[in-house]
Amino acid sequence: MCGIVGYIGKKKAVPILMDGLRKESYRGYDSSGIVVFEQGKPICLKAVGKLENLENRIQTNKYGSGFGIGHVRWATHGGVTEANAHPHCDCKENIFLVHNGIIENYRQLREKLVREGHKFSSDTDTEVIAHLIEKYFQGKLEEAVRKALRQVKGAYALAVIARDDPEKIIAARFSSPLIIGVGQNEYLVASDPNAIAPYAQKVIALEDNEIAIITPKDISILKEREPQDLEIEAEESEKGGYPHFMLKEIMEQPESIGSPLKGRLIIAQGLAKLGGLETVKEKLKNVKRLNIIACGTARHAGLVGEYMLEEYAGIPTEVEAGSEFRYRKQILDKNTAILAVSQSGETADTLGAIKEAKQKGMMCIGIVNAVGSTISRETDAGVYNHAGPEIGVASTKAFTSQLTVLALLTLLLGRQRGMSLVMGQRIAKEISRIPELVKKTLESEAQIKELAEKYKDFNNFAYIGRKYNLPIALEGALKLKEISYLHAEGMPAGEMKHGQIALIDENFPTVAICPSDSVYEKMVSNVEEIKARKGPVIAIATQGNEDIKKLVDDVIYIPKTLEMLTPILSVIPLQLFAYYVGLLRGCDIDKPRNLAKSVTVE
């Protein structure tokens, strides 16, 4: 994946940068570039494809500059083009930088900078940092970088140089590794120690929020401790024209799922590429059992993950609430790994369980949305959702993003242990279609609003599902409880007849999640049992299933997809239903009573 290298000292920078890039290239990349200044003029060279393509453009020994930066890129935001390759620069070709990580609020920042007159030349998230630095630059590069980074939300390792403040590299990191190599009257910067091993005798590992000012003579490190600008919070908190964050977050799911998929799927090879797991990839091959630890909505995502991982990766998987895992006797061995799933990365029960597991020597990996959060730091490795900040207390886009990442993880682990190429390709291709299918699913919004009107005065609801959609029944019921304060219970459809059915009459509606999958016929039988007792039924069914209309009172259709991916679609009508019922009942949608977004107490 992406790699950074930088050099400042008495030697010629270009050959050292190229050597570093070659050593970083083993991680996979699709383009590369370097920049140095020659007599105050930037020489910025980039190429798509193999490093040799870049080498062919550079007469390595021609340039005498003693400082510069370079990068190998693995595309995430923006296609594989020369314009999108790093280094990126500002409008005046003064500031140049290379970046690893993802800037989550780049869209808002970019729109604002464009309004202020900045001209962009790439589709990347990275370029916004160059323009932000330009905005604050008044002669001292470190000052401008410091101010710019206060505006930025996401993960980054950065190396920055400026024509108008030469003989200086500014390096900064948050949640992406970056080290500084100390040589003889020379310094190097790299995201991978291999890149600088021949030149550096000692290294300094930058810590989160640190900014290093590196000159040929010395190095000093600033710790950025000040809180983020309120301005940013306000910007991010904008509801984008929606009346509530919850609705905004439901409607932006095609994007919150789609953006992070870029660069994570290799369809032709039927593979998932998850950079955050690279360091433990080999260790993962020996994992014989997985314990998924999560709370609330994230636990429901974990339950879907259990079905995926067992069916397609063949790994026995157990899901447990953090609050339970911590205090019971666990039978764990060294081949069991812990997978923590958390939107905020701060949930006390999940965190407590990780600490417990770490004490026992278990490997812990995470699926976390909030970059740099405690869980992301406490785990050995992990995958960021990059779904963007979730403000509404009821989790929606984080949930569908967790399901998508679990599908990617299933693909990765499945292919490590015998899943065929054809199956891998099929799953990868279908995952890539999910954002478009989510978009189609959201088209039912108006119909769901009408249904909310029809059902809003019932006091009790049952949600039933089987297999992959059982956790969605639990999640659908949870959403309704959280937002409308109505009583709702989610349960396995087959369990209905063992007790719950006693409650069913014409005043007790059931939401039945019954897409056309391997358990469809069984679901229909359970729906028949409810209808025989006059219970109203809303079905979530697959587009094209006209038969179901004859059996139930109302149907909401979702597009067809692979069975393991249906939960990502089937949950969406349930999110919208909860939203509109809550709204019609006058509830406080974004701040439901008694609930907190991030529960940092036991």
Q: What is the closest distance, in whole angstroms, from the C-beta atom of residue 168 to ligand G6P in the complex?
A: 40
Residues in binding contact with ligand G6P, number by CB under 6 A: 16
Cβ atoms < 10 Å from Cβ of 449: 16
Q: What is the closest distance, in whole angstroms, from the C-beta atom of residue 540 to ligand G6P in the complex?
A: 21
Answer for which of 296, 302, 382, 582 binds ligand G6P (CB under 6 A) is 296
Catalytic one among 50, 449, 522, 597?
597
Answer for which of 122, 253, 259, 297 binds ligand G6P (CB under 6 A) is 297
Length of the chain: 602
Respond yes or no: is residue 2 known to be catalytic. yes
Chain position carrying tokens 């500084």: 180
DSSP secondary structure string for all residues of 120-178: --SS-STHHHHHHHHHH-SS-HHHHHHHHHTT--B-EEEEEEETTS-S-EEEEEEBS--
Residue in 154, 155, 211, 153 with CA at minimum distance from that of residue 180? 211
Answer for which of 295, 364, 477, 523 binds ligand G6P (CB under 6 A) is 295
379 binds ligand G6P (CB under 6 A): no
Instruction: Output 298 or 477, the one with its CB closest to ligand G6P.
Output: 298
595 binds ligand G6P (CB under 6 A): yes
DSSP secondary structure string for all residues of 328-371: S-----TTEEEEEEESSS--HHHHHHHHHHHHTT-EEEEEESST
Q: What is the closest distance, in whole angstroms, from the C-beta atom of residue 561 to ligand G6P in the complex?
A: 24
- Tell me, rounded to whole angstroms, the distance of Cα 101 from its chain centroid: 11
- Which tokens is 70 given? 């370079």
**Quick one: which segment of 108-116, 168-176, 258-266, 594-602 binds ligand G6P (CB under 6 A)?**
594-602
**Phi/psi-derived region of residue 372, left when phi > 0, alpha when psi is between -120 and 50, beta in every other case:** left
Q: What is the closest distance, in whole angstroms, from the C-beta atom of residue 536 to ligand G6P in the complex?
A: 28
Residue 7 CA: distances (Å) to CA of 63, 317, 321: 14, 46, 48
Q: What is the closest distance, in whole angstroms, from the C-beta atom of residue 253 to ligand G6P in the complex?
A: 16
Instruction: Output 149 or 319, the one with its CB closest to ligand G6P.
Output: 319
Instruction: Output 390 or 517, the one with its CB closest to ligand G6P.
Output: 390
Crossing angle, helix 397-416 and helix 421-442, to 10 degrees? 170
Instruction: Output 160 or 365, the one with its CB closest to ligand G6P.
Output: 365
Instruction: Output 196 or 483, the one with its CB closest to ligand G6P.
Output: 483
Beta strands in 191-296 (DSSP E): 202-205, 210-214, 219-223, 265-266, 271-272, 289-294
Respond yes or no: is residue 202 known to be catalytic. no
**Contacting ligand G6P within 460-499 (CB under 6 A):** none
**Quick one: which segment of 9-17, 450-458, 532-540, 591-599 binds ligand G6P (CB under 6 A)?**
591-599
Cβ atoms of 54 and 103 within 8 Å: the answer is no
Q: What is the closest distance, in whole angstroms, from the C-beta atom of residue 387 to ligand G6P in the complex?
A: 11
Instruction: Output 271 or 354, the one with its CB closest to ligand G6P.
Output: 354
Q: Which residue is nearest to ligand G6P (CB)?
A: 296
The type of residue at 77 is H
- Which tokens is 159 given? 């190396």
Residue in 449, 464, 423 with CA at minimum distance from that of residue 313? 423
Answer for which of 169, 298, 496, 571 binds ligand G6P (CB under 6 A) is 298
Whole-angstrom distance, CA of residue 500 vs CA of residue 477: 14
Instruction: Output 253 or 344, the one with its CB closest to ligand G6P.
Output: 344
Q: What share of the chain is helix, strand, coil (3-state, %, to 5)?
A: 40, 20, 35
Whole-angstrom distance, CA of residue 576 vs CA of residue 579: 5
Q: What is the closest distance, in whole angstroms, from the C-beta atom of residue 513 to ligand G6P in the complex?
A: 19
DSSP secondary structure string for all residues of 33-81: EEEEEETTEEEEEEEESSHHHHHHH--TTT---SEEEEEEE--SSS-S-
Instruction: Output 214 or 367, the one with its CB closest to ligand G6P.
Output: 367
Instruction: Output 151 or 297, the one with its CB closest to ligand G6P.
Output: 297
Chain position carrying tokens 């991982």: 309
Q: What is the closest distance, in whole angstroms, from the C-beta atom of residue 478 to ligand G6P in the complex?
A: 8
- Which tokens is 242 given? 């929606």
**Contacting ligand G6P within 310-369 (CB under 6 A):** 342-344, 347, 350
The type of residue at 590 is D
395 binds ligand G6P (CB under 6 A): yes
Q: What is the closest distance, in whole angstroms, from the C-beta atom of residue 597 to ligand G6P in the complex?
A: 6
**Contacting ligand G6P within 528-567 (CB under 6 A):** none
Catalytic one among 2, 364, 514, 587?
2
Binding residues for ligand G6P, rule: CB under 6 A, are: 295-298, 342-344, 347, 350, 393, 395, 595-599
Active centre residues (catalytic): 2, 597
